[in-house]
Amino acid sequence: MKTISKIIVVALLLIISQGCSEDFLNLENVNNLTTTSFYRTEKDFEDLLISTYMPMAFHQMWGIKAHRIGFAVDDRSIHERFNDSQLQYDATNPDIAEIYWSLFTGVFRSNLFLQKCTDDAGIDGVRKQQMIGEAYFLRGLYYFYLATYFEVPPLLQEPPDDPLEGHPNATQDAIYDQVETDFATAMELLPDLWDEKNLGRATKGAAMAYLGKTYLFRAKFSEAATILKEVIDSDIYSLNMPQATDSLDYVWAYLSNFTPIDLPNGSNVYDSEFNSESIFEVNFSLAFDLGRDASQYLPGRRSTGSHQTWFNGYSNFTQGYGNLAIDDKSFPDAFEAPGPAGLQKDPRYYATFIAPGDTLDWRTSILDHYETNAGTRVFRISDLNSTLGTSLGMRKHLWPFHNSLVWSNAPFQDPNNWRLMRYADVLLMYAEAAFRESGNEFHPEALIAINKVRLRVGMPLLTALSKEAIVHERDIELALEHKRFWDFARWYRD
C-alpha cells in the first residue's frame, strides 16, 4: 500500500509540474502599465509629456526648495536660515540635493520622451513635431538650471540603461552647448501661441527667450542681442501698461505679474497669469483639492500651489509670525523718488513691500479662497520674527493675502504661478546685450527697450546707457525673482 501511495503522489506531482509551466506563472497584470503596453497611443505620449513638465512644479523645485535657496542667496531678502544666506551649504544640504534630483528627473523624462517618440509612435504629424519641440525645450530648461546652479553635472542625452550607474561630470560649456542646441531645435518646432486650455506649454517665444538668456550667461552678446530682438520684433508680447494715470493703476499694472487673480481699479482690470508679458510660468492649481477637473492645468498638473507651503507660510501675516522678509536696511533706498501720480517712490516700491499699517487686501471677499478681514486686519511689525531685524514684509508674489475662511489650507497653499520668464526680463536682457556688444551708450534700440520698462512705471526715461543703469533696472524690476545672485555671478565672470 505504501508503494502504491508513493506512485500516486509522484504521478500527481508530475501532472502539477506540467500544469505550472513558465508561461502560466508569468501572467501579465493587465491593470499595470508596462513599457510594452504604454507607448502605443497619442494619449500615452501626451501623458508622458505632461509628466515631463511636472518636475518644475515639484515641491523639491519651484514648489518650495528653489525658493528657499533663491531667497537665501539674495541680498535683498532675509529669512531665518542664516547659514544659507552666507552660502554655507553643500551637497549634504537636502534642499540642494532635492533641487538636483528634480532637475535630473526632468532631464530623464525629456530623454525618455525623445527616445520613445519614434516614427511609428502613431501620433498626428503636426502634433508630433510640437510634442518633440516641447521635449527639447524642457530638456534645455532643466539643463540650463543644472549648468547655472551646479556648473558641471553629467550630460545625458538618453535615459540610462541602469539608473544606479554613475556618470562622469561634464564641463559647464558642454552643458550650455547642449542647452543652446535644444532651445534652437525647440524654437523651430513650437507654435507661437497655444489655445486657452493649453496655456502653460512651451512656445517658440519661450525657447527663443531662454536661448537668448543662455547666450547672455555665456557672454555671447551679439548672439544674445540678435535672438532677443527677434522675440521683441515678434510683437507677440507687451508690457501690462497703466490704463489711467491714477497712482494705483501704476502699481497694479506691475503687481499683476505676481498675483493669481486679475487686479481691478474702477473700470480698469489688469490681467495676471498668462497675460501679455508672460513668456513662461510654472503653473499651479487648487483644482484637485477643490474637487474639480484639473486635466487642463498644465504644466503643473496635480500640483497644488505648494510653493506657498514655505513661501507664504514663512511670509504670512495672518498667523502672527514671519520668517521671510525684506532686508530693509538698504533696499528701500534703491527705489527712485519721486514716483508718478503723487507717489513718493517708484511704483514698484509699493508692489514689492508691505509696510506697517497696510491692509492685507483691498476688499473683503475675493473669489474662492481669497478672503481676508481687510477692514480690521493690517500688517504690524510684530507679525515679523523680531530676530530678522526688519520692518518690511513682502507684497510681491503674496498679494492678496488670504486666510482659512474658505480655503482650509491657507495660508500654506496658494495656486499662484511662478513666472520664470517675463517680457520685461527679455527687454532688459536685450538692452544689456546690445550695449555690451556695441559699447554704444546711445544705442537707440537698447535705449528703447530699457525705457519701455521704465515707462510702464512712469519713471523718467534714460538718455544714455551704462552698466550702473542696467544693474539698477534689473535690481528693481526683477526684485525677489531669484535673478540678482545669478546676475552678479555672471557679471563677475565676464
The pLDDT of residue 401 is: 67
With 0-12 / 13-18 / 19 or more C-beta atoms within 10 angstroms meaning exposed / middle / buried, residue 166 is exposed
Mean pLDDT of the chain: 82
CA distance 310 to 305: 11
DSSP 460: P
| Percentage, residues of the chain above pLDDT 70 | 76
Residues 6+ positions from 215 with CB-CB distance below 8 Å: 180, 221, 223, 224, 227, 433
pLDDT band at 10 (very low <50, low <70, confident <90, very high): very low
Over the range 216-238, which residues count as b (16 or more CB within 10 Å of their CB) and which as e? bbbebbebbbbbbbbbbeeeebe
> Using alpha carbons only, what angle is made at residue 243 by residues 239 and 245, rounded to the nearest 5 degrees?
115
Residue 274 and residue 61: Cα distance in Å, rounded?
A: 21
Q: What is the pLDDT of residues 378-399, one digit of tens each?
A: 666 666 665 667 778 888 987 7
The secondary structure of residue 265, as a DSSP letter, is E
Q: What is the structure's pLDDT at 354?
A: 85
Q: d(Cα 72, Cα 160) in Å, to the nearest integer?
A: 34
Q: Give the span between the Cα atoms of 91 and 486, in whole angstroms.
A: 19
Please report the pLDDT score of residue 240 as a whole number: 97
SS3 call for 365:
strand
Residue 254, φ and ψ in degrees, nearest 5: -85, -45
365 has pLDDT over 90: no
pLDDT score for 68? 85
Which residues, including other chains, have CB under 8 Å from residue 83's CB and lie 6 or more apart? 89
Model confidence at 12: pLDDT above 70: no
Per residue in 184-206, pLDDT (tens digit) is: 999 999 999 999 989 999 999 99
User: pLDDT at position 317, please?
Assistant: 56
* Cα–Cα distance for residue pair 435/429, rounded to 1 Å: 10
Alpha helices by DSSP H, listed for 335-480, are: 347-352, 423-438, 444-456, 467-477
Q: What is the mean pLDDT of residues 267-277?
A: 95
> Over the stretch 77-126, which tens digit does the pLDDT of each residue have?
887 777 787 888 887 888 899 999 999 999 999 999 999 987 767 788 89
Cα separation, 323 vs 161, in Å, equals 44
pLDDT tens digits, residue range 42-71? 888 998 999 999 899 887 888 888 888 898
d(CA 149, CA 426): 21
What was the pLDDT predicted at 294? Answer: 40
C-alpha cell belonging to residue 450: 530699457
Asked if 294 contacts 285 with a C-beta cutoff of 8 angstroms, the reply is yes
CA gap 231, 192 in Å, rounded: 10
What distance in Å separates the CA atoms of residue 274 and residue 260, rounded to the nearest whole number?
10
Percentage of the chain beyond pLDDT 90 is 54
What mean pLDDT is predicted for residues 417-437? 97
d(CA 1, CA 14): 20
Residues near 417 by Cβ (< 8 Å), separated by ≥ 6? Answer: 260, 273, 274, 281, 282, 283, 284
User: Rounded to an integer, what distance in angstroms lies between the CA atom of residue 237 and that of residue 202?
Assistant: 15
DSSP structure class, residue 260: S
Question: Beta-carbon neighbour count of residue 103 at 10 Å?
Answer: 26
Q: For residue range 302-336, what is the model confidence (pLDDT) as tens digits?
A: 454 444 445 665 665 555 555 778 887 789 999 99
CB 448 within 8 A of CB 39: no
pLDDT value, residue 428: 98
pLDDT in tens, 133-166: 999 999 999 999 999 999 999 999 999 988 788 8
Contact status, residue 229 vs residue 430, Cβ threshold 8 Å: yes
Q: Which residue has the higher pLDDT, 137 or 12?
A: 137
Q: What is the pLDDT of residue 13?
A: 44
Per DSSP, the chain holds a count of helices (H) and strands (E) of 18, 10
Reduced to 3 states, what is the DSSP secondary structure of residue 282?
strand
What pLDDT, on the 0 to 100 scale, is given for residue 378? Answer: 64
Residue scoring higher pLDDT (407 or 161): 161
DSSP 210-253: HHHHHHHHTT-HHHHHHHHHHHHHT--------SSSSHHHHHHH
Closest CA to 48 of 118, 146, 140: 118
Nearest-angstrom CA–CA distance, 259 and 346: 19
Pairing of strands 278-282, 418-422: antiparallel
Task: Report cis status (omega within 30 of 0) of the bond before 299.
Answer: yes
- Report which residue type is found at 464: A
Q: Which amino acid is at 8?
A: I
CA dihedral 417, 420, 426, 429 (to 10 degrees): 140
Q: What is the pLDDT of residue 52?
A: 94
pLDDT, position 175: 98
Closest listed residue to residue 100, CA positions, set 114, 87, 90, 110: 90
Greater confidence, 363 or 100? 100
Q: How many residues does the chain have?
A: 494
Q: Residue 343 contacts by C-beta under 8 Å, 6 or more apart in sequence? A: 247, 250, 251, 349, 350
- Residue that the C-alpha cell 501620433 belongs to: 123
On whether the CB atoms of residues 449 and 432 are closer than 8 A, the answer is no
For residue 429, the model assigns a pLDDT of: 98
Q: Look at residues 389, 385, 328, 334 and name the one whose alpha carbon lies nearest to residue 355.
A: 328
Give me the pLDDT at residue 242, please.
97
Residue listed under C-alpha cell 527663443: 208
